[in-house]
Structure 1
């Protein structure tokens, strides 16, 4: 049996020490750069490109969000006929599943998948299990959209007594209808008459709050995929091949700032802000990352809550830059008070001029002159707004809650002769409040939590164990003397 000489043993020991030391150095380098390596791997997974998990999530036609609807029912119609303050009670919720179907998908012409273009079709399906009643049978007394519009359009002619008499006979602000018709549309008598004599003005006889939304195909949207710059992941480059909207009065308001869908740039920090674009109201909002919250379906996952900055709902008088969000041709006040803004160009795409205004539910953050014109009865008023809960490492939005209210504006009869006699003062009459919400299920959140937090911790522990093992093994080799050959024991 061949025995290793002392020199051989020394060389073997030295090589073992070198290998162990190099292994320890490599493991240590990996350990100290572990977060950077994980972030690089995360970036590779969240960019939008063919075959990526992000694209699969984005275009998955089986996923859906919810549209929850509460319509305002007038409870004191007889008193309102005598110019009393309207008392409104919500009826609902009526819940619809909103499916988004993506088509006409195109990648950038450079072949590097730096941009992604698509069109989106929205389909709403009623969910009776989550709703309180039957929208086809439940009735409400609500604001009549064509009549509010007719009075607003004819405001300049209402000084003539004959016009006022005609308006008073044919036009009324309130009517009784079903939830289904008020939401998704019905054939209106006034619009039929208008269509007969002025088809270019009244090109349709159907009207409803969301009559143009169901089965509607949105304009093509082009977004940044993050391949070149992960900090711009999900940012909108253009809508209908235009980098500017043609909805608002000012250039800044027409800029398409921020992201859409579920993907935003990663590495979210508390106290910072980022822009997000809402297709519901055709504008960008500046959101502040304001606090930590637990995921609804998996409390171990820590999310950051985003909410709009306070100045978002200020009037132009209080915050002059908000004048950009006025519209050039409005049927309401040119300078709306705090908490409301004209949404007619967004909802009706300039095909019709309708005095319809956005606000938060129950006029939250609106001026007193807006809130004091109606009474909400029957339920506690809540401070509801747009909020999103985002996973900070990846920037993926796991929960979204878009609360808003639609209101019809009418000029007061005392100031503007010929307005609805039921409303002595200018009024933003609430039609309905809405919640578009989407919450990731437990399986998705738990899987994401494992990949982002638990798996890196496990790998980190394995690295530490490997480093300790190599160092310990190296130490033992140094302590063990080289084995002597039998001849060394013979003297």
Structure 2
């Protein structure tokens, strides 16, 4: 065997070995990366994941758009369709701080999370004392509380409202008032009466009253330690020591599912539903995979909340428990949360009633739903479960209905009146993105370069060696054919001469 043949066979074998080695390293490196993530993810005091959980490095913004009613008299006196103009955003920087942290031996940790808000004038269209015309929520809350009481009591309360000078269905408020609260003379006047009917009313009112500088309860979550495993990382075990809410009419709707929406268990699949529990809407919702995106050089899964989450019970039987009172189901796209808002007729939806029933959208002039602008989104790293971009969008509405013996409501149409919509967002900054890429993506790219490099080099050597051997074999065959041709010609050339000699003899 010639030296060139021996070299070709050697490179053929070497190429095969490199290809096999590269293929073997794919699951090996895959498991190594997964094992490293499983080691880094669990919440342990002093770890990088714990520090990021304790004090999120990503800036969080709370932005508000209010709806200014332009035809209040026509609505109350003539039953006209409300017409609104959107104003905003009014922006706040949100700060979160976890306190009262307690670890348990069963792989869980309990904590409270204080939230504070600082107004950001540069990111806002105007000052915090900008005013707009909106619904008088304290008044309609009182009206709702006595909707089914005796007529004489309704008349008495209406007269009381008239005397207090606070019986108007719509009033003018500042952004700060409607968000954080203001003293309401009406609430003080009827507080004693409400208590006789087992209803408790505060002296002040605001959609986020007592939220600035406080927390929304005690969360108990799984740490992702070996006790429970990373499959349960950051999932809520209990809220305020309860495993169910106690608000809704079925066990399914009353469940506390998922995480707080900041992080999810690692190794997310496209087929998964990402469940989120939010005290703002008093329930759990879920998001589903929509597409792959790239953000700041990081490959992410783009999840959105599908329309089915807020479909009416006739279209989605799983939502029957959200009909409040039981059997009183609202149209698709809106949810009555008065059960967790002290009886106030507050209804939540997507901004501009996105994905809601058409009659809900058409009930107010000035609604322009747009998926790109008004949909809740989560852009998640599928390996670690960390949310790199979150935009939680929500609209707060008042359900306005005619109440017997209340003069200010006697001419109005039933309508879901929009008060404001908000976007609570967090987007990974450049520094955090670069740190993430250097700590996780760079090692992944190196391992991929090694495994695929071995496969490519092995394939190149294998193909070149195989091509050389094939070429050598074909050349050898051709040489054998050329050697046989002269003998055949010699035999054929002799035949005429021998035949001539035979004839002559």
Q: For the superposition of Structure 1 and Structure 2, which TM-score range results when normalised by the shorter chain?
A: 0.7 to 0.9
Q: After the TM superposition, which of the residue ranges 215-224 and 353-362 deviates more from structure 2? A: 215-224
Shift of 1:326: 3.1
Structure 1 unaligned residues grouped into runs of 5+: 1-21, 473-491
CA distance in 1, matches of 2:23, 2:314: 59
The equivalent of 1:318 in structure 2 is: 315
1:382 to 2:375 alignment: no
The equivalent of 1:107 in structure 2 is: 103
User: For the Cα contact (< 8 Å) 1:158–1:164, is it kept in 2?
Assistant: no
- Structure 1 residues 67 and 259, CA gap change in structure 2 (3 angstroms): same
User: For the Cα contact (< 8 Å) 1:359–1:405, is it kept in 2?
Assistant: yes
- Structure 1 residues 388 and 61, CA gap change in structure 2 (3 angstroms): closer
- Structure 1 residues 327 and 197, CA gap change in structure 2 (3 angstroms): closer
The equivalent of 2:477 in structure 1 is: none
CA distance in 1, matches of 2:435, 2:136: 48
Shift of 1:282: 2.5
The equivalent of 1:370 in structure 2 is: 360
User: For the Cα contact (< 8 Å) 1:316–1:322, is it kept in 2?
Assistant: yes
Give the alignment of 1:266-305 within 5 angstroms: 266-295=266-295, 298=296, 300-305=297-302
Shift of 1:155: 2.0
1:43 to 2:38 alignment: yes
1:179 to 2:175 alignment: yes
CA distance in 1, matches of 2:288, 2:270: 8
TM-score by length of structure 2 reads 0.78
CA distance in 2, matches of 1:464, 1:62: 35
The equivalent of 2:83 in structure 1 is: 87
User: For the Cα contact (< 8 Å) 1:92–1:131, is it kept in 2?
Assistant: yes
CA distance in 2, matches of 1:23, 1:386: 47
The equivalent of 1:484 in structure 2 is: none
The equivalent of 2:241 in structure 1 is: 241
Structure 2 unaligned residues grouped into runs of 5+: 1-16, 462-505
Larger Rg: 2
- Structure 1 residues 189 and 357, CA gap change in structure 2 (3 angstroms): same
User: For the Cα contact (< 8 Å) 2:266–2:383, is it kept in 1?
Assistant: yes
- Structure 1 counterpart SS, 2:148: helix
Q: After the TM superposition, which of the residue ranges 273-282 and 153-162 deviates more from structure 2? A: 153-162
The equivalent of 1:446 in structure 2 is: 434
TM-score by length of structure 1 reads 0.80
1:343 to 2:343 alignment: no
User: For the Cα contact (< 8 Å) 1:236–1:256, is it kept in 2?
Assistant: yes
CA distance in 1, matches of 2:46, 2:316: 45
- Structure 1 residues 122 and 286, CA gap change in structure 2 (3 angstroms): same
- Structure 1 residues 407 and 49, CA gap change in structure 2 (3 angstroms): same
Shift of 1:198: 4.8
The equivalent of 2:387 in structure 1 is: 397
Shift of 1:262: 2.2
Instruction: Show CA shifts across 1:368-417 (max 9, x none).
Output: 3322221117xx5423222101011111111111111001112136xx56
- Structure 2 counterpart SS, 1:375: coil
CA distance in 2, matches of 1:133, 1:357: 27
CA distance in 1, matches of 2:66, 2:413: 23
The equivalent of 2:503 in structure 1 is: none
Which of 65, 73, 77 is residue 70 of structure 1 equivalent to?
65
The equivalent of 1:219 in structure 2 is: 217
CA distance in 2, matches of 1:32, 1:449: 22
1:143 to 2:135 alignment: yes
The equivalent of 1:117 in structure 2 is: 110
Structure with the higher helix share, 1 or 2? 2
CA RMSD of aligned residues (A): 3.0
1:128 to 2:121 alignment: yes
Shift of 1:270: 2.2
- Structure 1 counterpart SS, 2:79: coil
User: For the Cα contact (< 8 Å) 2:155–2:406, is it kept in 1?
Assistant: no
User: For the Cα contact (< 8 Å) 1:399–1:438, is it kept in 2?
Assistant: yes
CA distance in 1, matches of 2:157, 2:448: 79
- Structure 1 residues 463 and 88, CA gap change in structure 2 (3 angstroms): closer
